[in-house]
Structure 1
Amino acid sequence: MSQHRQLAQLLIEVEREMRALDLWQASAPSAEALSSAQPFCVDTLSFCEWVQWIMIPRFCIMIEQRQPLPASSDIASMAEEVFKEVDADTAILLELITEIDRTLRALH
């Protein structure tokens, strides 16, 4: 399976798991919140909002346009810290995000 296809499948699974855990938002944050220059938009979005509204859409565009994917990724470290405060079993979601990191690192 190509890395683009593998990443696409992982993104579908991340969305499915976030929905199952009720971490998926029904409405988008403001354009201002989405335009933060901070890593993970920590000043304007929750981590789950960042995954839903920034990470997944950007990766989808890269996949659809067959653009080069990032050479490295460390999203799981942030997820691990954030999920300590989430009142849900996020083990599967964390594993999926960890697998995204592995997939991107495997490209290079």
Structure 2
Amino acid sequence: MNTVHQQMQKLLIDTEYALKQSGLWEADKPSKEALMSSQPFAVDSLHPEQWLQWVFIPKMQQFVSLNQALPAGFAISPYFEQTCQGKPEWIKVIRVLKEIDEVCA
């Protein structure tokens, strides 16, 4: 596993921890239909924390575990900064998402 993959693995663990610490982690998986959204961030069917937990983290963990090239040139933190503005429980999560953006820049 190369350094970028190691960094991403740590950041995915940090994201999960921040979600749990902030009370945003969910025990129950959304419906299969909700997870099949074709909208960016599944805005039509999932809350932001659900998208992170059930779509983004598993997909990125798959890239890491298979040692595949990570997606590049994207930034997810601006979406969460906008969507979760004024919600203090998101501060730690967004901090980690900014680090993910840097690794994938």
TM range (shorter): over 0.9
Give the SS at the match of 1:72.
coil
Give the SS at the match of 2:33.
helix
TM-score (structure 2 length as normaliser): 0.93
Structure 1 segments, 4+ long, off by >4 Å, are none
Amino acid at match of 2:93: L
Tell whether 2:87 aligns with 1:91: no
Could you list the runs of 5+ residues in structure 1 that have no partner in the other structure? none
| Matching of residues 3-18 of structure 1 within 5 Å | 3-18=4-19
CA RMSD of aligned residues (A): 1.2
TM-score (structure 1 length as normaliser): 0.91
Could you list the runs of 5+ residues in structure 2 that have no partner in the other structure? none
Partner of 2:29: 28
Report how many aligned residue pairs link the two structures.
104
- State which drifts further: 54-63 or 74-83: 74-83
Instruction: Go from structure 1 to structure 2 and tell me whether the alpha carbon gap of 1:85 and 1:29 turns closer, same or farther (over 3 Å shift).
Output: farther
Q: Alignment identity in percent?
A: 34
